[in-house]
Amino acid sequence: MTIGYGRAWEDRGVARREGIGARLKRLRLERGISQRDLSSPGITYAYISRIESGARTPSVKALRRIAGKLGVTVEHLETGEPTPLERGIADAGLEFSSLTAKELQAIEAEAGRGAHEGARRAAEEVLEDRRKAEVARLRKRLDELAG
C-alpha cells in the first residue's frame, strides 16, 4: 500500500474544512482499510463508525491507535495536514507506516536535533536584527542631538 501526501497537500482547504470524523473516513478509504480492520481492543468498528459520523469524539488513546493503523501521526489525523516529520519521511522515499518503532524513534531524535539547531540559528538572527535596529536607533538619536 502506497501512502502519498500529494493530494492532501494540494487541497489543504478540504483538510481544514473537514472534521476529524470525515478526515478519518477519508484517510481510511484512501488506504483501503475497513472499519473492522481499523478496530482494535477497546476500539470497535461501531465506535469508529460513530467517530466517522460525527456522533462521537475519539479519545486520545483511540486517536493514537487509529493514527498508527492509518500510518499517520496523531497531529495529521487531528488537523488533516501531514507534519514536517511525515513530509520529510515521504520526501526521503519512505512510507511513514513502514517504519518500525526503533526507526521512527531514531528519525524523531534526529529531527529534534535539527529543529533545535534551526531554532538556535533563527534566534541568533533575531538577536542580530535587534542589535542592528538598536544601533540604527541610537545613531538616529545621536544625529538628532548633534543637529
The pLDDT averaged over each successive group of 10 residues in the chain (147 residues) is: 44 66 94 94 94 94 92 92 91 90 92 92 96 96 89
Output the pLDDT for position 9: 42
Q: Cβ neighbours of residue 74 under 8 Å, at least 6 residues apart?
A: 60, 63, 64, 67
Hey, what CATH topology would domain 6-99 get?
A: 434 Repressor (Amino-terminal Domain) (1.10.260)
Output the pLDDT for position 60: 92
Are 40 and 65 in contact by the 8 Å Cβ rule? The answer is yes
Residue 32 Rama label (left phi>0; alpha psi -120 to 50; beta):
left
Taking each helix axis from N to C end, the angle separating 60-70 and 20-30, rounded to the nearest 10 degrees, works out to 20
Output the pLDDT for position 112: 92
Output the pLDDT for position 18: 87
Output the pLDDT for position 10: 44
CB atoms within 10 A of CB 97: 15
Cα separation, 73 vs 10, in Å, equals 19
Backbone angles phi, psi at 71, to 5 degrees: 75, 35
Output the pLDDT for position 31: 92
Output the pLDDT for position 1: 39
Output the pLDDT for position 101: 87
